[in-house]
Amino acid sequence: MKKWVVTLPPPEEFIGQYPELPPIICRLLWNRNIKTQEAIDEFLNPDYVQDIHDPFIFQDMEKATKMIFNAIKKNKNIVVHGDYDADGVCSAAILIQTLKKLGAKKVNVFLPHRETDGYGLNTNTVKLLREQKTDLIITCDCGVSNLNEIKEVKKLGMDIIVTDHHTVPIEIPPADAIIHPLSPKDNYPCKTLAGAAVAFKLAQGLLNKHQEENETLPDGQTHEAFEKWILDLVAVATIADMVPLLGESRTLARYGLTVLNKTKNLGLRQLLIAAGVADETGKPKRTYDSETVSFQLAPRLNAAGRMDHANSAFALLMAEDEKTATDLAVQLGKNNYDRQKLTEQLVSQAISQIKETKQENNAGLFVIGDNWSLGIIGLIAGKLKDLYYKPSFVMGLTDGEISGSARSIAEFNLIAAMKEMPEVFSKFGGHPQAGGFSLKSPDLLESFKEKMLEKISAVTAGMELAPQITIDAEVDLDKVDWKLYDILQRFEPFGQANEEPKYLASDLTVVNVNPVGQDRKHLQLMVKHNSQIIKKTIAFGFGDIGKHPSNWREILKPGDKIDMVFRISVNEWNGNRELQLTVIDLQKK
């Protein structure tokens, strides 16, 4: 059973300090640790001019822009090295578009193949780029952990600029310039930028430098217009990569969603059409928000690198004609469908393996499969972590090598643990709750499992581990109306560190339970609260015995008393628009 935690209300003096704000807004701000007038203004009313920081706060920005303009002027070969996920692909598209817009003639992209190249730079890639007479490499969404590979880059006589946002290692690679918000030599104000946002800051630095001596870009477009039109890619990557949506990251995502709703990017437009959230002309059927990115765009962009190669996602974002964009959007849709089916299949196998090896009571979970796709194992790890609420490690054995992906719970820092056992890895990296790794040898598998289990057990000893639902406030269901919904819209875009608000309604009376959907896995619950007003709610998946072993479809009967955690959204169909109360969790009294 999930643990429900209702946050405490703010002190009365805090509410009194901001009389112009409704009490519910004060409570939500307090819950998110947004407590000063400056922070509140930036959060509720982000301003692109005031809240976007000067890119030259990065100490190496001056050097990086000079190197790039010198490479463009001398017609040198520039290669942008991205990554295979949505953040890495969007990062590469931002930089390639910017470089071409500034007049670069010899500029190419290299996106690694998840299976054969792995994450970040590798020695074979470095040698290949040298053979192709590359002069300057610009990484995006990777590079900071590639110490040996960057030493090889310099040894072979190439220049390299790193733009990244991942965990910074103890030994910094000898790149010519590093643009990274967590760099120890930098005091950049926003530490949570996504990879594409860091790439955008480099693009912004280049545009600012160019504008010092040129009124417009070479094609006549203004610098400001081009900068604003690439914000849709920044928003997609920022939301897809699940970085905290606070500070500059929030401002970039907020303005980027505005751009996305009128995007000029042919690929994004066709992807939105293929996803069914835009009509055949590309007009939004409803306003695109963080949910649109998280559930429609990001999975399709990620599916390219998971099922085949990220090059198709990059080609989509760079497409210059409708047919190419349409064909690629359809291809990514198929990739995403195939990815969903394969994930379901492998999750089932992983659960069976956990049961067969009697791991249910272990502090962490470890599963491995022959030739399990590296593009899918991260998704499996995420599913296992959610299902068991334990750090989960999923590995594939391919050609005698073991590579894995891990997802962790809030109580256990994955990367910190990995850093304490470097002897077992040939490569590792990521974030505190999500990481990837390769073992030096399959013979080290048992040692890795033993050491990691020891660390998990030591950290989590004595803790009551259970998935937790943080509830923003308890409310009267009868008072949930359009006014409250409109207030909540000021908190968009929702994401990490700014989760969509969740509410508790206690002691509801069930009026009716209707299974809905083609497979009858969803439940429409009609409930009453403190009056005779009947409210309609939707509980997605609550009729699915696989997802909810208690099977609410059979348990709930008219007249039952329940407590409900829910969120407020809008359901739009055939031009109609109604408030939708979406159930997150239930408890029967």
User: Residues 325, 317: contact at Cβ < 8 Å?
Assistant: no
Per residue in 373-424, pLDDT (tens digit) is: 888 999 999 999 998 999 999 999 998 999 999 999 989 999 999 999 999 9
Secondary structure letter of residue 59 according to DSSP: T
Does residue 313 have a pLDDT over 90?
yes
* Residue carrying structure tokens 């417009």: 216
**What are the DSSP calls for 374-421, one per residue?**
TTTHHHHHHHHHHHH-S-EEEEEEETTEEEEEEE--TT--HHHHHHT-
Residue 546 — left, alpha, or beta (φ > 0 → left; ψ -120 to 50 → alpha)?
alpha
Least confident of 114-118, 161-165, 227-231, 405-409: 114-118
Tell me, what's the pLDDT at 511? Answer: 96
Query: Are residues 450 and 566 both part of a single domain?
Result: no
27, part of any domain: no
What's 63's domain CATH number? 3.90.1640.30
The pLDDT, as a whole number, for residue 521 is 84
pLDDT at residue number 577: 86
**454-474 pLDDT tens trace:** 999 999 998 888 888 999 999
Q: What's the start-to-end Cα distance of the chain, in Å?
A: 14
Q: Considering the chain, what percentage of its residues have pLDDT values greater than 70?
A: 99
- pLDDT tens digits for 397-407? 998 999 999 99
Per-residue pLDDT reduced to its tens digit, 178-208: 999 999 999 999 999 999 999 999 999 999 9
| CATH for 509 | 2.40.50.460
Residue 116: predicted pLDDT: 82
Has residue 9 been placed in a domain?
A: no
Q: Measured at the alpha carbon of residue 497, what is the angle toward residues 494 and 500, in degrees to the nearest 5?
A: 35
- Identify whether 61 is part of a domain: yes
- Among 164, 185, 220, the domain boundary falls at 220
Tell me what pLDDT residue 545 has: 59
Scanning 444-557, the segments in alpha helix (DSSP H) are 445-460, 482-488, 552-555
How large is the average pLDDT for residues 263-272? Answer: 97
Whether residues 512 and 431 fall in one domain: no
pLDDT at 575 over 80: no
Last residue of a domain, one of 424, 441, 460: 460
Residue 565 belongs to what H/E stretch? strand 561-573
- 48 domain residue, yes or no: no
Same domain? 543 vs 495: yes
Domain check: are 75 and 194 in the same one?
yes
| Domain annotation covers residue 517 | yes
Buried-state track 502-524, b at ≥16 Cβ within 10 A, e below 16: bbbbbebebbebeeeeeeebbbb
**Mean pLDDT value of segment 8-21:** 93
Cα 417 from Cα 408, distance rounded (Å): 11
Looking at residues 15-36, what average pLDDT do you find?
A: 92
d(CA 358, CA 372): 21
| Domain CATH code at residue 386 | 3.10.310.30
Q: Are residues 524 and 582 in the same domain?
A: yes
Confidence of residue 546 (pLDDT cuts 50, 70, 90): low
Residues 476, 523, single domain; the answer is: yes
Residue 341: is it exposed, middle or buried by C-beta count within 10 angstroms (0-12/13-18/19+)?
exposed
Judge whether residue 529 has pLDDT over 90.
yes
**Domain match, 503 and 375 both:** no
Last residue of a domain, one of 220, 239, 270: 220
533 and 551 fall within a common domain: yes
pLDDT digits (tens, 9 = 90+) for 269-311: 999 999 999 999 999 998 999 999 999 999 999 999 988 899 9
Strands 434-439 and 401-407 turn out to be antiparallel
Higher pLDDT, 22 or 58: 58
Q: Are residues 504 and 541 in the same domain?
A: yes
Domain count, the chain: 3
In this prediction, residue 67 carries a pLDDT of 98
Check if the beta carbon of residue 4 is closer than 8 Å to that of residue 469.
Answer: yes
User: Is pLDDT above 60 for 549?
Assistant: no
The predicted structure's pLDDT at residue 107: 97
Q: Round to whole Å and give the CA distance between 291 and 240.
A: 10
- In this predicted structure, what is the pLDDT of residue 576? 81
Q: Are residues 422 and 529 in the same domain?
A: no
Indicate whether 372 belongs to any domain.
yes
Any domain includes 536: yes
Is the confidence at residue 348, as pLDDT, over 60?
A: yes
What is the average pLDDT value for the chain, to the nearest integer? 93
Position of tokens 């969509």?
500
Q: Is the domain of 443 the same as that of 493?
A: no
**What's the domain range around 556?**
469-588
Confidence of residue 547 (pLDDT cuts 50, 70, 90): low
Q: Taking residues 259-263, report their average pLDDT.
A: 97
Whether 506 and 408 share a structural domain? no
pLDDT tens digit sequence for 470-519: 999 999 999 898 988 888 888 999 998 899 999 999 999 999 999 998 77
